Amino acid sequence: MLQSLFGDTYNLIHFTMRWLHVFFGVIWIGHLYYFNFVQGAFMNETDPNAKSQVLQKLAPRALWWFRYGALGTFLTGVIMLSYKGHLDAASHGSAVFASSYWISILTGSLLGTLMFLNVWLVIWPKQKIVIANAKQTANGGQPIPEAAAAGVRATVASRTNTLFSIPLLFFMVGSSHLGYQITENSQVTLYWIVALIVIGAIQGNALYGKTGPMTTIRGVITSGFVLTLALSGLVTVLV
């Protein structure tokens, strides 16, 4: 039955991983947008007691789904692309990775990988400090000195992930639709150099900088579309 439905083992594996990738991705990105577009605005407007309750009871639950949604998205993506990359390289050689599909999907994958690392290495560790501080002060204890700085760093990384998510979705979806041609005049290496510099600078800000134009919801969405236009423009000019 499965063979008649999917045709062969490759299609079965690829479809299954893509299906699960989208499933986990909805959980992950859905919570990312909830934190940035809904909970963040509420926390800025509510009273200290309600804010404490959110941090103690709601945030830990939401962050569990958030980080494991990210993990599931990342792992299924790695499996799917590794399997497809192995088969494509076996059929067409390493030059296949300079195709429009692989340039687009790897651009999206780079952004997704940075987002995944931000979740597990920045946002979650910093939010644990913020949550611990809320519980400690609610029980009459002293505030944790580094809680404020931890909250700021988690916010910058979360805003950066929101920014990255817009070009990520563009290139992931576009991998099967952006059929630009690679010619002898294409400068694929230069594209990757410039793209890495641009993306790396934004990621560096996530680790050490401030929210800047990402402070507001409108600003972070606008920044995401600007980055999408910049990266797609690089593809148009260099590839």
pLDDT per position as a tens digit, 29-38:
999 999 999 9
Residue closest to 192 by CA, chosen among 107, 86, 130: 107
Cβ neighbours, 10 Å, residue 175: 19
* Cα angle value 224/229/232 (rounded, 5°): 120
21-25, 75-79, 88-92, 139-143: the lowest-pLDDT one: 88-92
- Of 139-143, 180-184, 195-199, least confident by mean pLDDT is 180-184
Which tens digit of pLDDT belongs to each residue from 65-103? 999 999 999 999 999 999 888 888 877 777 777 888 899
Q: Does 14 have pLDDT greater than 60?
A: yes
The pTM is what?
0.92
Say if residue 24 is exposed, middle or buried (CB neighbours under 10 Å; 0-12, 13-18, 19+). Answer: buried
How confident is the model at residue 21, as a pLDDT? 96
With cut-offs at 50, 70 and 90, classify the pLDDT of residue 204.
very high
Are the C-beta atoms of 71 and 120 separated by less than 8 Å? yes
The larger pLDDT score, comparing residue 161 to residue 186, is at 161
* Two structure tokens written together for 95: 């030059």
Q: 9-33 vs 147-174: helix axis angle to the nearest 10?
A: 140
Helix, strand, coil % in the chain, rounded to nearest 5:
85, 0, 15
Of the ranges 9-23, 37-51, 65-79, the best mean pLDDT one? 65-79
Cβ within 8 Å of residue 203, ≥6 positions away: 114, 118, 160
